[in-house]
Amino acid sequence: MLLIPCPYCGERAESEFSYGGEAHIARPADPEKTSDADWADYLYTRTNTKGVYFERWMHAHGCRRWFNIARHTVSYDILAVYETGAPPPKFDTKSEV
């Protein structure tokens, strides 16, 4: 069970959280002008990273806030936590396994 640092409540057990999938998937600003392919991409296409992955979590049994973390998908190390809307931090280790 992961230990997730909620940016608001502090470190809490994974069982308090809901997973929200990949972060930084922006809803197209004008869905009507978005092509079928781009819309399908927005709905369904996600990366499957071996390395640092940016993902969303929600502190369901806590402050109910959504936030982002950078997690290494091999070691499960949580390398950064940041608020929704903030840009993803940069890592040199992205390709390192």
Partner 1 sequence: MSQRYRLPDGGRIDRTAPLNFRFNGTALRGYVGDTLASALLSNGIHLVGRSFKYHRPRGIFSAGAEEPNALVQLGTGARSDPNMHATQVELIEGLKARSQNCWPSVDFDISAINDRLSRFMPSGFYYKTFMWPAAFWMRYEYIIRHAAGLGTAPTGRDPDYNDKTFAHCDVLVVGAGPAGLAAALSAARTGARVILVEQDAEVGGALLGLAGEKIGGKPALDWVAAARAELVESADVRILTRTTAYGYFDHNFVGLLERLTDHIVDPPAHLPRHRLWKVRAKQVVLATGAIERPLVFRDNDRPGIMLAGACQTYLNRYAVKAGQKAVLFANNDGAYATANDLAAAGVKIAAIVDTRPNPEGPHSERAESAGLPVLAGHAIVGTTGDKRVRQVRIARLNDDGSAITGEAQEVDCDLLAVSGGWNPAVHLLSQARGKIRFDEERGTFVPMQTEQATHVAGACNGSFGLASCLTEGFATGETAAKAAGLSSKSRRKKTPAASNETFLPARWTWLVPSETPLGRGGKHFVDLQSDVTAADLKLAIREGYRSIEHVKRYTTTGMGTDQGKTGNVNAIGIIADTLDRPIAEVGVTTFRPPYTPVTFGAFAGRDVDDLLDPIRKTPMHGWHERAGALFEDVGQWRRPWYYPRAGEDLHKAVAREVAAVRTSLGVVDASTLGKIDIRGKDAATFLNRIYTNAWSKLEIGKCRYGLMLGENGMVMDDGVTARLGEYQFLMTTTTGNAAAVLQHMEEFLQTEWTDLDVQLTSVTEQFATISLAGPNARRLLSEMTHDIELSPNALPHMAFTEGTVASVPARVFRISFTGEMSYEINVPASYGMAVWQAVLTAGERYDITPYGTEAMHVLRAEKGYIIVGQETDGSVTPVDLGMDWVVSKKKDFVGRRSLARPDMLKPDRKQLVGLLTDDPQVVLPEGAQLVERALPNPPMPMIGYVTSSYGSPNLGRSIALALVKGGLARKGETIFAPLADGRVVPCTMTDPVFLDPEGERLRG
Partner 2 sequence: MVERYLRQSPLAHLGLDGRAQAVRGESGVAMSEQPFRGIVNLRVQPDDSEAMAALESALGFALPVEPNTTAASATALAFWLGPDEWWIVTPGPEPESGPNMAVTLRTALTDRRGAVTDVSDSRTCIRISGPRARDLLCKGMPLDLHPRVFPSGCCAQSHLAKTGVVLHLIAEDGPTFELYVLRSFAEYLWLWLEDAAREYGLTITSS
Q: Which does 61 bind (CB under 5 to 8 A by kind): partner 1, partner 2, none?
A: partner 2
Distance CA 26, CA 33 (A): 15
Residue 65 binds partner 1, judged by CB under 8 A = yes
Residue 86 binds partner 2, judged by CB under 8 A = no
Distance CA 96, CA 77 (A): 13
By CB under 8 A, the count of residues binding partner 2 is 13
Interaction residues for partner 2, span 20-49 (CB under 8 A): none
Residue 86 binds partner 1, judged by CB under 8 A = no
